A and B are shown apart, each in its own frame.
Chain A
Amino acid sequence: MKKLFSRPVLIIGFLVTLALVAVALASLVWTPLPPAKMNILHKLQPPLGFGLLGTDQFGRDVASMLMVGAWNSLSTAVLAVALGASAGTAVGVIVAMRRGWLELVTMRFCDIIFAVPPILSAMMLGAFIGSGRLTAVAAIAVFMVPVFARLTLSAARQIWTRDYVMAAIGMGRSKATITLVHILPNISGQIIVQVTIQLGLAILTEAGLSFLGLGMPPPAPTWGRMLADAQTFLGQAPWLALLPGLAIALAVLGFNMLGDGLRDLLDPKSQA
Chain B
Amino acid sequence: MIAILIRRIASLIITLLVVSLLIFVVMDLLPGDPASVMLGTSASPETLAALQKQLGLDQPLPVRYLAWLAGVFRGDLGQSYTYGVPVAGLMAERLAVTLPLALMAVVMSVGLAIPLGVAAARRRNGVVDHLIGLVSYIGIAVPAFWVGLLLIIAFSTMLGWMPAGGFPGWDAGVFEGLKALVLPAVALALPQAGVLTRVARTAVIEVMGEDFVRTARAKGLSESLAVWRHAVPNALVPVVTMLGMQFTFLIAGAVLVENVFNLPGLGRLAYQALSQRDLIVMQDVVLFFAALVIVVNFLVDLAYLAIDPRLRTAV
Q: Do A and B bind each other?
A: yes
Q: Spell out A's residues near B (CB within 8 Å).
A: 108-109, 111-112, 114-121, 123-129, 200, 204-205, 207-208, 211-212, 227, 230-231, 234-235, 238, 241-242, 244-245, 248-250, 252-253, 256-257, 272
Closest to A242 in B: B150
Cβ-defined contact, A127 with B149, below 8 A: no
**21 A-B pairs (CB sep. < 8 Å):** A112-B19, A114-B293, A115-B294, A117-B251, A117-B252, A120-B270, A121-B286, A124-B282, A208-B145, A211-B145, A211-B256, A212-B271, A234-B164, A235-B157, A238-B157, A245-B146, A245-B150, A248-B143, A249-B146, A252-B141, A257-B137
Tell me how far the C-beta of A91 lies from the nearest C-beta in chain B, rounded to whole angstroms.
Answer: 16
Cβ-defined contact, B18 with A108, below 8 A: yes
Cβ-defined contact, B143 with A204, below 8 A: yes
Cβ-defined contact, B248 with A115, below 8 A: yes
B side interface size, CB within 8 A: 53
Cβ-defined contact, B150 with A119, below 8 A: no
Contact A112-B146, Cβ < 8 Å, known A123-B274, A129-B31, A208-B256: no
Tell me how far the C-beta of B171 lies from the nearest C-beta in chain A, rounded to whole angstroms.
Answer: 27
Contact A126-B274, Cβ < 8 Å, known A112-B19, A116-B290, A234-B149: yes
How many residue pairs link A and B with beta carbons under 8 A? The number is 142
Q: State the CA gap A200–B137 with chains docked (Å).
A: 12
Contact A227-B145, Cβ < 8 Å, known A112-B290, A119-B256: yes
What per-residue 1/0 map shows which CB atoms of B260-297 lie under 8 Å from chain A? 10000000001100100101001101100111011001
Question: Could you say which of B22, B27, B149, B279 has the most chain A C-beta atoms within 10 Å of its C-beta?
Answer: B149
Q: State the CA gap A252–B142 with chains docked (Å).
A: 8
Q: Is residue B67 within 8 Å, beta carbon to beta carbon, of the partner chain? A: no
Q: State the CA gap A118–B140 with chains docked (Å).
A: 18
Cβ-defined contact, B142 with A124, below 8 A: no
Given contacts A116-B286, A208-B256, 4 further A-B contacts (CB under 8 A): A119-B255, A120-B290, A234-B149, A248-B142
Q: Spell out B's residues near A (CB within 8 Å).
A: 11, 14-15, 18-19, 22-23, 26-27, 30-32, 37, 137-138, 140-143, 145-146, 149-150, 152-153, 156-157, 164, 198, 202, 248-249, 251-252, 255-256, 259-260, 270-271, 274, 277, 279, 282-283, 285-286, 289-291, 293-294, 297
Cβ-defined contact, A124 with B286, below 8 A: yes
Cβ-defined contact, B256 with A127, below 8 A: no
Q: State the CA gap A134–B143 with chains docked (Å).
A: 22
Cβ-defined contact, A111 with B252, below 8 A: no
Residue in contact with A120 in the complex, picked from B18, B143, B259, B289, CB distance below 8 Å: B289
Q: Interface of chain A, helix or strand or loop or mixed?
A: helix
Closest to B274 in A: A123
Contact A111-B15, Cβ < 8 Å, known A118-B252, A208-B256: yes
Contact A112-B37, Cβ < 8 Å, known A253-B137, A272-B202: no
Cβ-defined contact, B282 with A127, below 8 A: yes
Q: Which residues of A contact B146 (CB under 8 A)?
A: 207, 227, 241, 244-245, 248-249
Q: Which residues of A contact B138 (CB under 8 A)?
A: 249, 253
Tell me how far the C-beta of B29 lies from the nearest C-beta in chain A, rounded to whole angstroms.
Answer: 9
Closest to A254 in B: B141
Contact A249-B141, Cβ < 8 Å, known A112-B22, A124-B282, A127-B277: yes
Q: Which residues of A contact B286 (CB under 8 A)?
A: 116, 120-121, 123-124
Q: Which residues of B contact A127 (CB under 8 A)?
A: 30, 37, 274, 277, 279, 282
Q: State the CA gap A242–B146 with chains docked (Å).
A: 8
Tell me how far the C-beta of A94 lies from the nearest C-beta in chain B, rounded to whole angstroms.
Answer: 20
Cβ-defined contact, A123 with B18, below 8 A: no
Q: Which residues of B contact A115 (CB under 8 A)?
A: 19, 248, 289-291, 293-294, 297
Tell me how far the C-beta of B24 lies from the nearest C-beta in chain A, rounded to whole angstroms.
Answer: 11
Q: State the CA gap A241–B154 with chains docked (Å).
A: 12
Closest to B250 in A: A117
Tell me how far the C-beta of B273 lies from the nearest C-beta in chain A, rounded to whole angstroms.
Answer: 8
Q: Which residues of A contact B145 (CB under 8 A)?
A: 208, 211, 227
Tell me how far the C-beta of A227 lies from the nearest C-beta in chain B, rounded to whole angstroms.
Answer: 6
Contact A256-B137, Cβ < 8 Å, known A111-B294, A112-B19: yes
Q: Which residues of B contact A119 (CB under 8 A)?
A: 252, 255-256
Q: Which residues of A contact B270 (CB under 8 A)?
A: 120, 123
Cβ-defined contact, B256 with A212, below 8 A: yes
Q: Which residues of B contact A235 (CB under 8 A)?
A: 157
Residue in contact with B149 in the complex, picked from A108, A111, A212, A231, CB distance below 8 Å: A231
